[in-house]
Amino acid sequence: MTVWRLFWTKSTAISSNSKPSQHFSLNPNSTFSQFTSHCRQFSTSFLVTKIPKKFRKKRKKKESPRTKLVQTQPNINPHFENILFRDTHFRFLTKTKEFLSKQSHHVLPLDDAGKLHQQLGFPRGRKVVRSLQRHPSIFEIYRHNDGKMWIGFTDFMEKLLDEEGKVMNEMESDRVSVVRKLLMMSKDKRIALSKIYHNRLLFGIPEDFRDRIRKYEDYFKVVVEEDGKRVIELVKWDPTLAVSALEKEYMVDEDKVKKAFKFPIKHGKALDLDEGDERKLNLLYTLPLVSPYSDGSKLDLWTVEAEKFRVGLIHEFLSLTLEKRAYIHNIVEFKEEFCLTKHTYQMLLKQPRTFYLAGTEMNWSVFLKDAYGEDGVLLNKDPQVLFNEKLYRYADMKVVKPSSDVYET
């Protein structure tokens, strides 16, 4: 403002001391050119056209779904979050154990292992030796007769693997029932064999189950499709297996099941309902639930009945797992078979009484809350879960004493 006042003051002074004909033409078309010629006499380079960085208002960056937690205070359950931290801590142990178990003589050249960061579960760009040294009671590095370095299991770990094999054999009939129930929940009563294999650790299914199912021709049939994909199909429907965990629990504690889910009904304020009346209205809208063993493909996709079916199916799916929990990639892999939608995450968030979503928005895990105690410990542990916990304890040991479970850290 000061600059333009100075300009007009100076131009007025010039105009008063000069003849009009020398500065301003009477021709209106020449007014603009004369105005710009006067402006050239003044510089505007000193004007601040941008706000300095230190005075700019800092915008809060939107947190990435990779790091943004699903839960916020005060809803965070540290026990469930710590279980995911344990998964991360033992990722290398779990993946390397699975990979080495499938190798001949349970050994692998060290040079080859360094290139398998994805298969073995160690960070890309890091040396695999550092991860191996974290579990000296499980893995060992030795020099072979050919002069090359190899990795393998310790003798102690080989004994643990034999123990795990016995657990697998003892639990085989239970695992067969799990696969049958998964097929009975599926839309067409068939699932790709590869999908069950990829998620076998979730249900405690042995690695060689594709060979074991040949013994159960009365239950399963393996079909090879035109593209070479192997699909396992249900041979016979068993009504005794088509009973969900919720239905069994309903017979024991009816009130508990009634409070498990909430599908609120929208109503106008004109009804003037108190809290008790509103709860009864919502209960009428919530019950009855839809069995996960019914045909969900016949339900209209966005109806309440369809959402009840999907919620009940996720509940039954989790109840079949070893630890009553599953990651997003475990659930998404069966999306087509179980008629799930892309809104599964939002659907589960609306049922906080039954489900707890832990982890980040991009890699979350869902827990069945009733399957855990207040201390975050699983109430009923499968023999395979007990073995895994034992393995984790030994994996963090520095020295294993064969005579007892006492160890040094």
Number of folded domains that form the chain? 2
**How many Å apart are CA 292 and CA 313, to the nearest integer?**
5
- On whether residue 42 sits in a domain, the answer given is no
- pLDDT at residue number 20: 47
Domain boundary among 111, 126, 153: 153
* Same domain (yes/no): 134, 162: no
* Same domain (yes/no): 198, 285: yes
**How many Å apart are CA 122 and CA 134, to the nearest integer?**
12
- On whether residue 70 sits in a domain, the answer given is no
**How many Å apart are CA 171 and CA 163, to the nearest integer?**
13
* Same domain (yes/no): 323, 389: yes
**What Rg do the C-alpha atoms of the chain give, in angstroms?**
34
Phi/psi at 342 (5° precision): -75, -5
- On whether residue 183 sits in a domain, the answer given is yes
Residue 92 near residue 131, CB atoms below 8 Å: yes
- On whether residue 8 sits in a domain, the answer given is no
Partners of 143 in the β-ladder: 149
Residue 198 near residue 205, CB atoms below 8 Å: no
Count CB neighbours of 48 within 10 A.
6
* Same domain (yes/no): 365, 351: yes
This model's pTM is above 0.95: no
* Same domain (yes/no): 148, 163: no
**How many Å apart are CA 261 and CA 353, to the nearest integer?**
7
Q: What's the DSSP call for residue 46?
A: T
Residue 101 near residue 394, CB atoms below 8 Å: no
Q: What is the pLDDT of residues 56-69, one digit of tens each?
A: 777 778 888 888 99
Q: Which residues of 352-368 are buried (b: 16+ CB within 10 A; e: fewer)?
A: eebbbbbbbbeebbbbb
DSSP string covering 155-179: HHHHHHHHHHHHHHHHTHHHHHHHH
Domain boundary among 123, 153, 183: 153
Residue 358 three-state SS = strand
**How many Å apart are CA 7 and CA 60, to the nearest integer?**
43
Domain boundary among 92, 122, 153: 153
Check which CATH number belongs to the domain holding 129 and give it.
Answer: 3.30.420
**How many Å apart are CA 258 and CA 282, to the nearest integer?**
11
Count CB neighbours of 183 within 10 A.
22
* Same domain (yes/no): 105, 177: no
- pLDDT at residue number 4: 47
- pLDDT at residue number 250: 82
- On whether residue 58 sits in a domain, the answer given is no
* Same domain (yes/no): 168, 112: no
* Same domain (yes/no): 135, 262: no
Which tokens in the block code for residue 7? 């300009």
Residue 346 near residue 339, CB atoms below 8 Å: no
Low-confidence stretches of the chain (pLDDT beneath 50): 1-8, 10, 13-26, 270, 402-409
- On whether residue 12 sits in a domain, the answer given is no
- pLDDT at residue number 248: 92
- pLDDT at residue number 266: 60
* Same domain (yes/no): 196, 248: yes
Residue 376 near residue 77, CB atoms below 8 Å: yes
Q: For 228, how many CA atoms within 13 A lie in the half-sphere containing its CB?
A: 0
- On whether residue 72 sits in a domain, the answer given is no
Residue 221 three-state SS = strand
* Same domain (yes/no): 197, 264: yes
Strand-by-strand arrangement of the 325-327 sheet? 325-327, 364-368, 355-359
* Same domain (yes/no): 147, 178: no
- Max Cα distance, the chain (Å): 116
- pLDDT at residue number 45: 57
Q: Which domain holds residue 371?
A: 157-393
Which tokens in the block code for residue 19? 């003849």
**How many Å apart are CA 151 and CA 397, to the nearest integer?**
19
- pLDDT at residue number 42: 56
- pLDDT at residue number 346: 93
* Same domain (yes/no): 304, 321: yes
Nearest partner of 347 among 392, 388, 310, judged by Cα: 310
- On whether residue 40 sits in a domain, the answer given is no
